[in-house]
Amino acid sequence: MTADPGPVGFPPDALPPAAKLTERPHPLTPFIRGWVVLLAVVISIGREFLPNGEGSRPLPPLEIIFAVVAALAVAAGVAGYISWRFTRFIIDADELRVDTGAIFRRSIRIAFDKVQSIDVVQPFAARMFGLAELQIDIGSHERSKLRYLQLGRAYALRDYLLARARGYQAEAATTTRSVSLLTDLHETDEVLVQVLPQTLLLAAVTSHEFWGIVLGGLVFVTVGLAIGQWWVLLAAAVPTISGLFGFVSRRVTGQFNYTLSRREHGLRIARGLTSLTSQSLPARRVQAAQLSQSPLWRLLGLYRIDIEVIGWGAVTDNEDKSGVSTILLPAGSLAQVQVALAAIWPRADFTAVELSPAPLRARWLHPFSGPFLRWGHDQYLVVSRHGWLVRRWQLVPHARIQSVRVTQGLLSRRLGLADLEFHTAGMRIAAHASGVEAGVVLERQTELMALLHHPGPDVSEPFPPPTSDWSEARAQAGPEALRADQAEATISSTE
Amino acid sequence: MTDLFTPAADWQRLPDRYVTVRWLGALAYNLVTTLVGVLAVGFLFDWGWAGALALVGLAWTGWRVIRAGRWVRSFGYAERDEDLLITHGLWNKRLTAIPYGRMLSVNVESGPIDRAWGLARVELVTASVQSAGHIPGLQQADAAALRDRLIAAGEAQALPL
């Protein structure tokens, strides 16, 4: 890639000049960042004075308490003001820079074309003031954060940066057309999947995690009754019920109003009730996906999709944290699953992959999951299924597999079985197929490897290939240009 | 021969010298850990138990020394047109196939024992940490040549990440 961010075949002269933007965090930022700290300090000090059974300490006079709180507030305010005063976001035609720090100055400059995705996150405190945080993902473990901006500004900046990342000299807009407070949707957006709160609630109370907590409580109660101690009933009931309540509310509020939508620059997921997250989904960087289904979900026809994205190793995969998550679909029907997967891999259809069951003798090695083991592949995907209670499907596109391993232990050799591992760039979804007939592996080895080397058109490429001028240029250019072009496409489509 | 773990290819084996290196490695590691364990148990508890531990440690060392030769002979790698195959293991056999296009870098390492026998270890790095493409105990000249061939093949066949 050259320094020119324009895509191949896009005449640089035609680019409109971009406006210069120097952005300060919103003046309320120090308060929002500080209130959590203040609260924590107050709670931890306050706890010292709570009655704790061994003679509570006398409370200090009220004046002293007020003085301490006031001093803390002033100190936090001054620190916050200084940090606010020296923080600047510079966004113009040439650069994207974040300057912070009063004593230790720090200046981070990000190349526009390295921007992989941008997420708008609204923690609860910021949400109350209509502010939001912008997270810039450049594929490394550390995300640059611009916080806090007004929500409209944050969305506008996001759209601008994403356009720049795709190589367009977009006009830096000062506001955005986003209409809803809850969903970050334009009128032009195409909504692909929307999960209703009642579905989330139903999914939460029928999930295996929920019943795991119930079962834990029941075991405790049974033991208590068996030894004739009635108080155990209460001791078990309270944490179990609060645990269940917390679990369900986290699942529902965290994924509230889940919406997967497509805008001109790519896919976007918005969700959350108390803290709103709007994250962009870089389809090309999705390495693998895992569908899972709790036992009761089988009756309801619900599935959940988790994905593995390069460079998102540190992001959270559970529902209770705000921010970016690797959940592609918290709960949805098979049709929604297909739509969501088609959004990231338009060419692949996992339901069309022919799955072959593990042979009967695999049950010696996998007594519970044996009857449910399946695996298969087609031109685009490798699919394997596991699990006895919780059913899991692992989907990996051939184009994302880094290496393949066949393993065989002493027992499986005797049984004529083998296991396959598909290594992708990422640790969370370790795609594998267990209890495969050794003969089949031997037979398919060459075919699998050939698909690995020559995956054909990328699974993330939409079916009717775009007939813009630069895809033609790509077709005419030699192999060198092709490789450079793939890099371009990787960046531009990852918004 | 053609079976699940050695498909038809030009299989390269490790030099016999590497068996000696594995012996030494096993001896050095096992004897030191056994000694530390025996002394700790002896001083803290009872010398009778320490003696038992010493026997276990010696048996384990003997087992590793006996297995070293067979393990080295089980190891093989083959450079095919588009990928590198690595196979090893006696009880748990494994065959790993890494396409050249997926390689990010190739490392050559050589520890003090390796160097004394003129050996080196080649490691293929892909974007996946599970790939684990190690080839230990190559002669240094072979290792360097293998590295250069791998890099050349990787550059010629690069696949997008």
Contact across the interface for A449 and B4, Cβ inside 8 Å: no
Contact across the interface for A406 and B131, Cβ inside 8 Å: no
Which of A408, A425, A458 shows the shortest C-beta gap to B4? Answer: A408
Q: ipTM of this model?
A: 0.84
Chain A residues whose CB is inside 8 A of the B96 CB are 403-405
Contact across the interface for B161 and A310, Cβ inside 8 Å: yes
Which of A441, A452, A483 shows the shortest C-beta gap to B99? Answer: A452
Taking the CA of residue A436 and the nearest CA in chain B, the distance in Å comes to 12
Contact across the interface for A408 and B83, Cβ inside 8 Å: no
Contacts of residue B42, Cβ cutoff 8 Å, sequence gap at least 6: B49, B50
CA distances from A178 to A18, A154, A381, A416, A419 (A): 22, 11, 36, 59, 49
> Among A273-282, A407-416, A430-439, where is mean pLDDT lowest?
A273-282
Model confidence at A200, pLDDT cuts 50, 70, 90, reads confident
* pLDDT score of B81: 83
Residue at which a domain ends, from B56, B71, B86: B71
State whether B81 and B148 are in the same domain: yes
Q: List the beta bridge partners of residue B121.
A: B109
Element of type H or E holding A148 = strand A144-150
State whether B63 and B84 are in the same domain: no
* CA angle centred on A486, ends A483 and A491, rounded to 5°: 135
* pLDDT score of A204: 86
CA distance A318 to A330: 10
Residue from B15, B56, B23 nearest B142 by CA: B15
Residue A307 φ/ψ region, left for φ over 0, alpha for ψ in the -120 to 50 degree band, beta for the rest = beta
> Among A209-218, A278-287, B136-145, where is mean pLDDT lowest?
A278-287
Chain B residues whose CB is inside 8 A of the A425 CB are 126-128, 161
* pLDDT score of A483: 38
State whether B61 and B81 are in the same domain: no
* CB burial string B15-44: b at 16+ within 10 A, e below: beebbbbbbebbeeebeeebeeebeebbee
Q: Looking at domain A329-345+348-453, which CATH architecture does it have?
A: Roll (2.30)
**Statement: residue B61 has pLDDT above 80:** yes
Query: Phi, psi at residue A99, to the nearest 5°?
Result: -105, 130
Query: What are the tens digits of pLDDT across the range B128-152?
Result: 877 778 888 888 888 889 988 888 8
Of all residues in chain A, the percent with pLDDT exceeding 70 is 76
Which of A402, A406, A483 shows the shortest C-beta gap to B4? Answer: A406
> Within a domain: residue B89?
yes
Contact across the interface for B99 and A418, Cβ inside 8 Å: no
Range of the domain at B87: 76-156
Interface residues of chain B, partner chain A, Cβ below 8 Å:
3-5, 7, 82-83, 89, 91-99, 101-102, 126-131, 133, 157-161
State whether B65 and B89 are in the same domain: no
CA distance A254 to A277: 9
> Among A252-256, A290-294, B68-72, where is mean pLDDT lowest?
A252-256
Q: Which residue has the higher pLDDT, A228 or B154?
A: B154
For A102, the 3-state DSSP assignment is coil
**Test mutation, A1, A310, A398, A403, chain B, max B CBs within 10 A:** A403
Taking the CA of residue B70 and the nearest CA in chain A, the distance in Å comes to 16
State whether B137 and B86 are in the same domain: yes
Residue at which a domain ends, from B53, B71, B89: B71
State whether B94 and B116 are in the same domain: yes
Taking the CA of residue B84 and the nearest CA in chain A, the distance in Å comes to 10
> Within a domain: residue B99?
yes
**Statement: residue A3 has pLDDT above 80:** no
Residue from A95, A493, A127, A492 nearest A278 by CA: A127
State whether B80 and B67 are in the same domain: no
CB contacts < 8 Å between A and B, how many? 93
DSSP letter at A135 equals E
CA distance B136 to B13: 11
Model confidence at A273, pLDDT cuts 50, 70, 90, reads confident
The nearest alpha carbon in chain B to A285 belongs to B161
**Statement: residue A248 has pLDDT above 60:** yes
* pLDDT score of A489: 36
Mean pLDDT computed over B48-58: 85
* pLDDT score of A81: 81
**Statement: residue A377 has pLDDT above 80:** yes
The nearest alpha carbon in chain B to A400 belongs to B161
Contacts of residue A341, Cβ cutoff 8 Å, sequence gap at least 6: A289, A305, A328, A348, A350, A395
CB atoms within 10 A of CB A365: 18
State whether B141 and B86 are in the same domain: yes
Which of B7, B128, B158 shows the shortest C-beta gap to A425? Answer: B128
* CB burial string A443-472: b at 16+ within 10 A, e below: ebbeebbebbbebeebbbbeeeeeeeebee
- The distance of Cα A166 from the centroid of its chain, to the nearest Å, equals 21
* pLDDT score of B7: 77
Strand order in the sheet with B93-99: A432-437, A417-423, A403-408, B93-99, B83-88, B76-79, B11-13
- The distance of Cα B83 from the centroid of its chain, to the nearest Å, equals 19
How do B105-109 and B93-99 pair as beta strands?
A: unpaired
Most confidently modeled of A77-81, A172-176, A382-386?
A: A382-386
> Within a domain: residue B5?
no
* pLDDT score of A196: 86
Contact across the interface for A402 and B102, Cβ inside 8 Å: yes
Contacts of residue A93, Cβ cutoff 8 Å, sequence gap at least 6: A17, A18, A20, A169
DSSP letter at A54 equals S
Model confidence at A495, pLDDT cuts 50, 70, 90, reads very low
**Test mutation, A308, A419, A423, A440, chain B, max B CBs within 10 A:** A423
Model confidence at A69, pLDDT cuts 50, 70, 90, reads confident
A413 close to B (CB below 8 A): yes
A403 close to B (CB below 8 A): yes
Residue at which a domain ends, from B51, B71, B91: B71
Strand order in the sheet with A327-332: A327-332, A303-309, A286-293, A391-397, A381-386, A374-377, A356-357
The nearest alpha carbon in chain B to A414 belongs to B91
CA distance A143 to A134: 10
Model confidence at A6, pLDDT cuts 50, 70, 90, reads very low
Q: Which residue has the higher pLDDT, B3 or B16?
A: B16
* pLDDT score of A188: 67
Total domains, chain B:
2
Query: What are the tens digits of pLDDT across the range A318-348?
Result: 444 545 678 888 888 888 898 888 888 888 8
Domain locations along chain A: 29-85, 197-253, 329-345+348-453
> Among A6-20, A137-151, A435-449, B71-85, where is mean pLDDT lowest?
A6-20
Taking the CA of residue A410 and the nearest CA in chain B, the distance in Å comes to 5
A484 close to B (CB below 8 A): no
How do A259-263 and A190-194 pair as beta strands?
A: antiparallel
CA distances from B80 to A399, A451, A463, B9 (A): 19, 15, 33, 7
A425 close to B (CB below 8 A): yes
Contact across the interface for A453 and B83, Cβ inside 8 Å: yes
Chain B residues whose CB is inside 8 A of the A428 CB are none
Q: List the beta bridge partners of residue B11.
A: B78
Strand order in the sheet with A144-150: A144-150, A131-137, A117-122, A276-281, A266-271, A259-263, A190-194
**Statement: residue A91 has pLDDT above 50:** yes
CA distance A397 to A456: 11
**Statement: residue A465 has pLDDT above 60:** no
Tell me if the bond preceding A148 is cis, omega within 30° of 0: yes
**Statement: residue B84 has pLDDT above 60:** yes
Tokens 């000299």 correspond to what residue?
Answer: A169
Chain A residues whose CB is inside 8 A of the B102 CB are 402-403
CA distance A73 to A77: 6
**Test mutation, B3, B4, B79, B86, chain A, max A CBs within 10 A:** B4
> Among A3-17, A77-91, A139-153, where is mean pLDDT lowest?
A3-17
Residue B105 φ/ψ region, left for φ over 0, alpha for ψ in the -120 to 50 degree band, beta for the rest = beta
* pLDDT score of A311: 67
User: Residue B91 burial by CB count (10 A; 0-12/13-18/19+): exposed, middle or buried?
Assistant: exposed
State whether B59 and B81 are in the same domain: no
Of all residues in chain A, the percent with pLDDT exceeding 90 is 1
The answer to whether B132 touches B94, Cβ cutoff 8 Å, is: no
Q: Kindly report the pTM of this predicted structure.
A: 0.74
CA distance A42 to A52: 17
A102 close to B (CB below 8 A): no
